[in-house]
Structure 1
Amino acid sequence: MLQLTLNYVPYSSNAGFLIIKQTEVTTLPEYRYIFYAHVYTSIFVLLFGFIQFFKFKSAAGIRLHRVAGYQYIFLLLAFAAPSGLYMGLHANGGIPSKISFIIQSLLWWATTFIALQKIKQRNFTAHRNWMLRSFALCLSAISLRFWKVVIVYLFHLPPMDTYKIIAWLGWVPNLIIAEIIIQKTTNKTPL
């Protein structure tokens, strides 16, 4: 993911994904800035999210968990998910892809916001469960690209058909896996 992000440094409207989004880049002046906000913050959201899976017992480790967690939440709620929503409104692949990315970004924002509320209430189990859902949605950045390779290699579908499929495969299986993990690791704790 870091290598993909570095494709957009230095700032350019003719790099990577933006090459196929020239209509949006040229007709929607804000698109490029929102896209870059999404790319530049999402890489840190992924990093801060991964940190949360380490078990910290020391005071310094717990502090790192808390600081990284608040960075994850802030960057996601303020930038990554809202910019993802905007980009979803302009997604390739027509209505099916747009619906998928819009739902994903709304769920990503909502699961993270609920996780924040749960930690403020000191409901650690519910907080963990909602953060697991949030991070499952965050990992769509990786799983979408994984599924793209698999589908292109196995089925040789036209690019837009592939995109419509991976728009959903990028996050729905992740969320299902998160729910299975939650069910197996909690004692039916109220959410």
Structure 2
Amino acid sequence: MTSSWKSQWPAPAGLIVLSLVPVIAAFVRGAELASRPEVTPDNARFVTAPLPIVLHIVGSILFSVLGALQFAPSLRRRRWHRYAGRLVVPSGIAVAGSGLWMTLTYAMPPIEDSGLSVIRVVVSTGMLLCLVLGFVAVRRRDFTTHRAWMMRAYALGLGAGTQAFTFGFWTVAVGEPGVGAYALLMLAAWLINLAVAEWFIARRKPRRLAGLSGSGEITGDAGDGRPVPRSTASRG
């Protein structure tokens, strides 16, 4: 195993492993819908109105996998990062938008009460906002701000992966969660992901370079960790 792999790929590999939970769940749900299943109380909302869940499935797979690869420094130095980003942003919008759509229109099971619906609306809206702000930042060539907002969006989008752990630990320690605990465990996963994202963002903030004039102040990076002076970041 080379030193380059050790320094660049643990984070993307770990995120891909974490994303296996929503990806596998998406494949299972997609296969169920493709088989034209008998309508039951558990799947009625998906079978009778499949469009939002199909958008959610496709968006989740693309956003989870391609988003994880965006964290690899070697890929950020290539055009691949830009081209993949053109799929990551719309797939993330599909995930958040369909999540909001399902929350507002589907009849949810009793374990998912109105409190959880409010949380889901806030999370979906927040993810959409992060994606929009990330897109606006990259159009301004403010790559540091772009990366921060995209990290936050990815953290929210990967909530299902962390929820497998919060529910798993709770079930082992306490047993099946009730309605209140169910909502809190879902919320805890999103908060954990956001806390980790904020920690990474704080670590990667560019330091101002001594001796630069005001016009040369550091505002971002070139997508590969190299600082970009304000005069360069404002071009284009």
Give the TM-score band, short-chain normalised: 0.7 to 0.9
For structure 2, list consecutive stretches of 5 or more residues without a partner in the other structure.
Answer: 1-19, 208-217, 221-236
Q: How far apart in 2 are the matches of 1:57 and 1:9?
A: 32
> Partner letter of residue 164 of structure 2?
R
Please report the RMSD computed on the Cα atoms of aligned residues, expressed in angstroms.
2.7
Report if aligned partners of 1:13, 1:19 keep a CA contact under 8 Å in 2.
Answer: no
Q: What's the counterpart of residue 69 of structure 2?
A: 51
Q: What's the counterpart of residue 105 of structure 1?
A: 124
Q: How far apart in 2 are the matches of 1:13 and 1:148?
A: 30
Q: Could you say which structure has the higher helix fraction?
A: 1
Q: CA separation of 1:98/1:12 partners in 2, compared to 1, >3 Å: closer, same or farther?
A: farther
Q: CA separation of 1:161/1:13 partners in 2, compared to 1, >3 Å: closer, same or farther?
A: farther
Q: Does 1:143 align with 2:162?
A: yes
Q: CA separation of 1:21/1:161 partners in 2, compared to 1, >3 Å: closer, same or farther?
A: farther
For 1:20, which of 42, 61, 65 is the aligned residue? 42
Identity of aligned residues (%): 22
For structure 1, list consecutive stretches of 5 or more residues without a partner in the other structure.
Answer: none
How many pairs are equivalent?
182
For residues 121-150 of structure 1, the C-alpha deviation after alignment (integer angstroms, 9 at most, x for no partner) is 000110111111111111112111221111
Q: What's the counterpart of residue 146 of structure 2?
A: 127
Report if aligned partners of 2:163, 2:186 keep a CA contact under 8 Å in 1.
Answer: yes
For residues 21-44 of structure 1, the C-alpha deviation after alignment (integer angstroms, 9 at most, x for no partner) is 42x347xx43x2211210122111
TM-score by structure 2 length? 0.68
Q: CA separation of 1:169/1:132 partners in 2, compared to 1, >3 Å: closer, same or farther?
A: same
Q: CA deviation at 1:157?
A: 3.5
Q: What's the counterpart of residue 40 of structure 1?
A: 58
TM-score by structure 1 length? 0.82
For 1:171, which of 183, 187, 190 is the aligned residue? 190
Give the structure with higher Rg (CA). 2
Q: CA separation of 1:164/1:21 partners in 2, compared to 1, >3 Å: closer, same or farther?
A: farther
> Partner letter of residue 175 of structure 1?
L
